[in-house]
Amino acid sequence: MNDVIKSDFLVIGSGISGLIFSLEASRHGTAAIVTKRGLTDTATSLAQGGIAAVVSPEDSFEAHIHDTLRVGCGLCHRGVVEAIVRAAPERIRQLSELGVEFCKAEGSDEFDLGLEGGHSHRRVLHVKDHTGRDIEEALASAVRQEPNIIIFENHMAVNLVVRDNEVLGAYVLDTESAEIRRFASRVTVLATGGVGKVFLYTSNPPHATGDGIAMAYRAGASIMNMEFIQFHPTLLYHHRVHSFLISEALRGEGAVLLGADGERFMPRYHPDAELAPRDIVARAIDAELKRTGADHVYLDISFKDSAWIKNRFPVIYRRCLEAGIDITSEPIPVVPGAHYCCGGVKTDIAGRTDIKGLFAVGETACTGFHGANRMASNSLLEGLVVGHNAALAASEMLDRPIRADEIRPWDPGEATDPDELIVISHTWDEIRRIMTNYVGIVRSRKRLIRARNRIDFIRREIEQFYWDFKITPDLVELRNIAVVAELIVRMSRMRRESRGTHYNQDYPREWDQAVDTVLRKGYSPVA
């Protein structure tokens, strides 16, 4: 199949932002969705807590804006925050019309709103503890029914095609046939999700390898604030269960963190205790683990009514029970893990990048909404609003030609089949251990220098491997996590302060003025 696949919009990724973009853009033209696994195998599907929005008369836009700015530690772009927060109620109505049934208070038509860390009011709409799954399924159902949308599952983008700072489309690997296919479009949208698999412990799905960020960087787009990796304080700690998140909503409903001695410790670290911002809770747990030598702490909600727990948190209850933990009668062993990337491809509030025709949305993008620390349940909101905005902006670019003839067939050159696949798996493991040990919750100058030296060497080694051997999914992902790791390390070294999720023990104070860190290929500040 050497023909070029043409569409008005090429959407790479199928989480909440990619699907809402595709659905709305399809009213103006054709859309091709490229997704690495199945359509609904996304981080959105794993989101438990909910989506933040002002829908109660007891709440206000001003309060939501203030909370977001406060949790973002001075780095949020105020205009972006105001616009996204004010757009939230309309987007919630849209989801409801698509069939998302947010929980209502018992015996009432009012939403049953949750409270999570950083929020001053109950404003988190949820569907028990599987909100993301219900949103993803509703959007996917609508997308599947749209004749203007073609879905390419088990396809992963390899590289963007850019000429004179304009994107023409992308080279895409069909992971079932191993063929590299050409996709050409008027507009290309990166919606590939986060970077969690750059670290050993993460709540992200196994394919969250920062593909969109890495491709955008290689193509010359600006990347912003990658040092701000949010570690979720509470991943289930169990030898058989990996990457399972214990939602912050449990702490919002009163769950407390206990040390190995069974004593509560969060009041020693922050006046808001368990409801402090995530960066503070994660660092507190990290400090307790280092102080005691334990390898996990506990989250306890067992003092609540058993029937209530099972009804409010059915997925968490069942998953923990499968692991031999009854959360209605015993505490849950937990440990922090990489959860959300507050940085990404630099965009405006409509997802526009500094490459013409290229958009980025969702966790792949950095609009300035989250600042240095994302407030709980603001991510689904941002993905929804910016995905909607991007569809409106992209529909105004349909006068751009589809330059399919300028995308040359993929040339593997003299590449051969990989002869030592173990090199890929070992290098993948090495990068993740370096990042976890040296660029984790607590950083230092020495740790970052060690990480830089090792990652620089590994990156060169991977690039040689990439050109010598034929493309495989593992090689594409390895190449991308190496780029993302390099960006995180370089930007962490550029930020000689501690702010939000970036904590450097050699620079424990904030600068007087908050500034973004920005990198693009060919522009290299000393880092």
The residue ranges of every structural domain in the chain are 5-228+342-402, 232-338, 421-511
* pLDDT (mean) for 225-238: 95
Model pLDDT, residue 484: 98
Q: Do domains 5-228+342-402 and 421-511 have the same CATH topology?
A: no
Residue 239 has pLDDT above 90, yes or no: no
Distance CA 336, CA 248 (A): 12
Q: Which whole number is the average pLDDT over 236-257?
A: 91
Q: Is 26 left (phi over 0), alpha (psi -120 to 50) or beta?
A: alpha
Taking residues 299-321, what's their average pLDDT?
96
Q: pLDDT digits over 318-369, tens only? A: 999 999 999 999 999 999 999 999 999 999 999 999 999 999 999 999 999 9
pTM: 0.93
Q: How confident is the model at residue 526 (pLDDT cuts 50, 70, 90)?
A: very low
Q: Say whether pLDDT at 416 is over 80.
A: no
Residue 138 confidence class, pLDDT cut points 50, 70, 90: very high
CA atoms within 13 A on the CB side of 433: 8
CATH superfamily for 5-228+342-402 is: FAD/NAD(P)-binding domain (3.50.50.60)
Q: Domain 232-338, what architecture?
A: Alpha-Beta Complex (3.90)
Q: Is 400 part of the annotated catalytic residue set?
A: no
For residues 150 and 31, is the Cβ–Cβ distance under 8 A? yes
Q: What angle do helix axes 421-438 and 473-494 make, rounded to 10 degrees?
A: 20
Bigger pLDDT: 240 vs 70: 70
User: Any bridge partners for residue 359, and if so which?
Assistant: 189, 352
* pLDDT tens-digit readout, 457-510: 999 989 888 887 888 999 999 999 999 999 999 999 999 999 999 999 999 999
| Protein fold of 421-511 | Methane Monooxygenase Hydroxylase; Chain G, domain 1 (1.20.58)
Of the residues 133, 278, 443, 454, only one is catalytic, namely 278
